[in-house]
Chain A
Amino acid sequence: MQKNWWKILAILLPVYTIVAGFLLDVPRLPILNETIRNLYFHVCMWFGMMILYTVSFVYSIKYLRSSNLRHDIFASQFAMMGSFFGILGYLTGVLWVNVTWITDQHQSLGSVLKEPKLIGAAIGLLIYGAYFVLRGSFTDIDKKARVTAVYNIFAFALLFPCVWIIPRLVGSLHPGAPGSDSGNPALDRKDLDETMRLVFYPAVIGWTLLGTWLTTLNIRLELLKNKDIVS
């Protein structure tokens, strides 16, 4: 039980996020209205994705240093959960776009489809999609682990320009772009409301822990399946 304290946190923090996220006061802003509460869910998915991908990246490097197949399983499962969080973030973003970017700011669907943040995020996720295609195309286990570990490092390096840098350079409707009035929403202490920070930071930790828990379940299952080849 002592080893499982973080799983209790992974249950309590999302529960706290939903209760406090719906019931606490939020700033009254035009266009956003109540959808500002999506910060506790949509943004947390992307934060969680970045953390899970970072863990995956670290395990890929560890695999290349040690050639231990255990690390390869860790890297692939964390990348899997990271992509899952990314897809959830993308889908929730699409819902949010529908009510904030299209109706109130005289934006058409065409201008939203040209949105650099959406294209960048899609490219980033597709690069990781290719990681799983690549994994499926090898028959030799060691070769698969080695090549995909290198690819995973490449994918992680490409994620930053696609999702974070290019949308901020070319301008975008998404908060954080030069056109909008916020420099770095969510992370900037001056940018985020005091009470919202009380929910947002625990929410990021909570959703990420929940993702980590599900990843460890997958990892343990994979380790059981490959028991005779993994030391």
Chain B
Amino acid sequence: MKKLLLQMLFFFLSTCAFAQEKVEMADVMRSNGKIYTVVAVCLTILFGLIGYAIHLDRKISKMEKQQNG
């Protein structure tokens, strides 16, 4: 019984110690809301690239139609 209690205490203490270990994250960025800027920038680039792919897709479709028609 005593052993079990000791074990439980040890387990509790170790989890406490783990919880107190602070891991640095980009919390400031998130609280300022500026992470949304990063998302917006990345999306702009992605949309630009996808728009280019759509443009190429249409161009090639037109060429295929010309060759077959």
Contacts and interface: CB of A to CB of B under 8 A. Distances in A.
A227 B64 CA distance: 10
Interface string B15-30: 0000001011110000
A22 B34 CA distance: 11
Binding site secondary structure of chain A: helix
B14 to A, nearest CB: 16
B67 A23 contact: no
Nearest to A7: B57
Contact of A30 (B23, B26, B39): B23
Contacts of A33: 23-26
B50 interface: yes
Binding site secondary structure of chain B: helix
Nearest to A32: B23
Given A214-B53, A217-B60, A18 B42 contact: yes
B64 A22 contact: no
A11 to B, nearest CB: 5
Contacts of A23: 35, 39
Contact of A34 (B25, B39, B43): B25
Contacts of B64: 220, 224
Interface residues of A, number: 21
A7 B63 CA distance: 20
12 contacts: A14-B50, A18-B46, A22-B38, A22-B39, A29-B23, A33-B26, A213-B53, A214-B53, A221-B60, A224-B60, A224-B63, A227-B67
Given A18-B42, A34-B25, A224-B64, 11 more contacts: A22-B38, A22-B39, A33-B25, A33-B26, A210-B50, A213-B53, A217-B53, A217-B56, A220-B64, A221-B60, A224-B67
Interface of A: 7, 11, 14-15, 18-19, 22-23, 28-30, 33-34, 210, 213-214, 217, 220-221, 224, 227
The 9 closest A-B pairs by CB, nearest first: A28-B23, A18-B42, A34-B26, A22-B39, A220-B60, A11-B50, A217-B56, A30-B23, A33-B24
